Amino acid sequence: MVLPAAERIAVVGAGSWGTALALVLARKGYPVELVGHTPERVAEMRQSRRNSRYLPDFSLPENIFPGADPAVVAGCQAVVMVVPSHGFRAVFRQLIPHLSPATAIISAAKGIENDTLLTMTQVMAQELSQDPAGSLLPGPEACPGNTGSTAAPAVNHPLGVLAGPSFAREVAEGLPTAVTVAAALAEESRFFQELFFTERFRVYAGTDLIGQELGGALKNIIAIAAGISDGLGYGTNSRAALITRGLAEITRLGVKMGAKPLTFSGLAGLGDLVLTCTGELSRNRGVGLKLGQGMTLAEILDEMQMVAEGIKTTASAWDLAQKMKVEMPILEQVYQVIYQDKPCREAVRDLLAREGRDELE
């Protein structure tokens, strides 16, 4: 299914990543409704034609229409959800009454909901199915075909996820980037691929929804660990070890939940993990760096303007690992540093003091 350039697209979430994706779509010729949370900031974007808070160096073309009314999604061919995981459900719930039948919806958020332990496509499937009992709790039995849902949505909205190594600023600059999209059906995945594909924004397609979502969410935790290591001055050997063993942890949990192992060798797994653990623009690595340098989490959060998803995802991932009975020692130490005030050097000591084992167990 190829989308005509005249069809409107809604990007919900006007942070740096939402704005960057809106720029990608607008440069393709789509009219883009950029839905922000704060009316005052939206008004400023309309007037200045810039997102001065998140991406101030980039002008918004005339076919990007900033707004704060969720009703603008009505009649849109596709909706791109770029809302942090802790606010994702509430925002999506506001959109549902305005969605046109069969509107395709793709999540570009990277997190796991704290209370339910659901990924963002699972949250959307639950809201669309009007299933308040929480029957979509993830697990092998809840992921047939890796759709991330046991219940069919009440309305036939194709659901997808966009993941992969992609800093918002570099995407906004038009620097070459490769990402991946997934949906339950190959046809739906190809639709999302066509939606975003440009000469500078290469998009691969697949059907491993749960794998791509877990890869995108869990890499932020490993990036915090890598930042802690860098902040302690432990060097590139340590960082490489954390990336490699972190990937093993992510893969163990993903496979237990029905994901395809090869997904974690791809853009949503290794690709995004390497970028987030090494890139200077990584907010999650930055959090870890400051923790390793001795700052408290409260001090770090006071300084931040943008969300580091890994902080909240650490809590939900820890709960998920316990539920699924998956051993994740790096996650365990990051959880103790963030939520139990464990000193960073003690966390590294305990990680290194674990009993020896075969690498590929």
Specify the pairing of strand 177-183 against strand 159-163: antiparallel
Which residues fall in the annotated binding site for substrate? 110, 283-284
CB within 8 A of 94, min separation 6: which ones? 70
Check if the beta carbon of residue 178 is closer than 8 Å to that of residue 164.
Answer: yes
Angle between helices 283-292 and 309-324 (to 10 degrees): 90
219 is catalytic: yes
User: Which has the closest alpha carbon to 81: 157, 178, 27?
Assistant: 157
State which amino acid sits at residue 14.
Answer: A
- The DSSP string of 260-280 is -GGGGGSIIIIIHHHHHHH-T
Scanning the structure block, which residue is given the tokens 């600023």? 169
Which residues fall in the annotated binding site for NAD(+)? 13-18, 168, 283
Q: Is 329 exposed, middle or buried (0-12, 13-18, 19+ CB in 10 A)?
A: middle
| Region class of 76: left (phi > 0), else alpha (psi between -120 and 50), else beta | beta
Which residues fall in the annotated binding site for sn-glycerol 3-phosphate? 110, 164, 166, 219, 272, 282-284
Which residues fall in the annotated binding site for NADPH? 16-17, 37, 54, 110, 168, 283, 307, 309
Question: Which residue out of 219, 312, 325, 342 is catalytically annotated?
Answer: 219
Separation of alpha carbons 98 and 95, rounded Å: 6
Which residues fall in the annotated binding site? 13-18, 37, 54, 110, 164, 166, 168, 219, 272, 282-284, 307, 309
- Just list the catalytic residues: 219
